[in-house]
Structure 1
Amino acid sequence: MGSLTLEVLFAFALASVLIELTPGPNMAYLALIAASEGRRPGLAAVAGVALGLSVVGVAAALGVAALVSASDLAYEALRWAGVGYLLWLAFDGWRGAGRETIDFAPLGSSNWRYFRRGLITNLLNPKAAVFYVAVLPTFLVARDAVLGEVLILSGIYVGVATAIHAGIVLAAGAAHRFFDDPARARRLGRALSLALALVAIWFAFKTAR
């Protein structure tokens, strides 16, 4: 592992846990899906989030994320695309909660839809790119770290994030049966959609340069 000692790996894993426990777009979106639709769609979204974080991690290792971080135009375009997408998800959740009955898509297409949304949300999340550019390199003792070491740290971060996201889905999914009643489901869906919209607004200010 080169310069990546067990001490360094543990410190990086701990930092990843603390970062992922901070409320953000993924936490709000996954809680919304699991509580309103159930655990399976929520876990599908978790898989999409994991793939999105992995793609950004590989891009960072290849230097693409560094380019985005250095370019104000690229960063702003990605940031506002991410904010817009989160707001669209909030609007879609609010609109869906207003229906008399919840319109469940067939299992396969429903899971794929949430997987796709989780993937896109993270591909349009500049915070993920900045994490790989600003935080990850501080744990590379050797400045000339090889590509493999960057990928190892990226894998640890994705693993930590996925475990935490799955925990959020399982916890929120436990409340799904309680909200089988259409009226309660509608109130929950709208409340969580509003929370997701607020997160999107917070996200816009938090990621501003």
Structure 2
Amino acid sequence: MIPHTAWPVDPAVIAPFLLAVALIELTPGPNMGWLALVSLARGRPAGFAAVAGVTVGLAAWMLAAAFGLTQVLLIWPPLFQLIRWAGVIFLLWLAWEAWRGDGDPAAAERDERQTLRGLFLRGMTGNLLNPKAAVFYVALLPTFMRPDHGSVLKQALTLGGLHLGVAVAVHALIVLGAARVSGAVLAHARGRVLRGIMAGGIVAVALWMAWETRA
């Protein structure tokens, strides 16, 4: 049996933490909506490319929180608002991009590698411009950390890593589920109709994010 003190975090907090983050990740939010839209419109590979970008963005906020860098968002609210509205504007730009034609699967197939790279970067950027992710780590991690157990940094990184694992699992399920019905969607929605659905969905995600990150 591994000694209690050998664990990077208190073993007693692992199950409650995993349950808490699973419930949070299963709550509908902007990431869930955007990943579903991408997977519906472009299929499984595109969805997983987007998941990879989302995960990198979340990991960046997790590391910033673990090293105490995100405290500035709480100390200086204007920075929080600046990042928040930059994220909303970025999503609206993605909606305009989709309406112009970048959301057309036929166009995407002409250069799949470039498309996947673009979706990765969009997922990463969208999460880097979501200050709610930083607040999530600042608010949640300390409640499951035990100062007398060991290094606070090691505990923060361990719990943050567990959260990323849960987030990847949930996001992957969203991609797989949406990709399964994408064939039926693409069969009935082509060209301008598909672009309209994609653009309208991203606008809804942008409004969702604006509401979720309000002060």
Taking structure 2 as the reference length, the TM-score comes to 0.87
- CA-to-partner distance for each residue in 1:165-197, whole Å, 9 max, x for gaps? 111011101122223337356535423432321
What residue number does 1:103 align with? 107
What residue number does 1:10 align with? 15
Letter aligned with residue 91 of structure 2: L
What residue number does 1:153 align with? 159
Equivalent residue for 2:61, pick from 36, 52, 56: 56
Q: Is the partner of 2:70 in helix, strand or coil? A: helix
Letter aligned with residue 63 of structure 2: V
Structure exhibiting the larger radius of gyration computed from Cα positions: 2
**Unmatched segments (≥5 aa) in structure 2:** 1-5
The count of corresponding residues between Structure 1 and Structure 2 is 208
Provide the rounded CA distance (Å) in 2 between the counterparts of 1:37 and 1:142.
46
How far the C-alpha of 1:62 sits from its partner, in A, is 1.0
User: What is the alpha-carbon root mean square deviation over aligned residues?
Assistant: 2.2
What residue number does 1:75 align with? 80
Matched, 1:167 2:173: yes
What residue number does 1:201 align with? 207
**Unmatched segments (≥5 aa) in structure 1:** none
CA contact (8 A) 1:97 1:190 kept: no
CA contact (8 A) 1:179 1:185 kept: no
Equivalent pairs: percent with the same residue? 43
Provide the rounded CA distance (Å) in 1 between the counterparts of 2:52 and 2:94.
17
- CA-to-partner distance for each residue in 1:133-180, whole Å, 9 max, x for gaps? 111111112278521110001101111111111110111011222233
Matched, 1:139 2:144: yes
1:44/1:3 CA distance change after superposition, 3 Å: closer
Equivalent residue for 1:125, pick from 127, 130, 145: 130
CA contact (8 A) 1:42 1:169 kept: yes
Letter aligned with residue 106 of structure 2: I
Provide the rounded CA distance (Å) in 2 between the counterparts of 1:66 and 1:115.
27
Provide the rounded CA distance (Å) in 1 between the counterparts of 2:126 and 2:191.
24
Equivalent residue for 2:186, pick from 180, 188, 191: 180
Q: Is the partner of 2:27 in helix, strand or coil? A: coil
How far the C-alpha of 1:82 sits from its partner, in A, is 0.8
Equivalent residue for 1:41, pick from 24, 28, 46: 46
Q: Is the partner of 1:181 in helix, strand or coil? A: helix
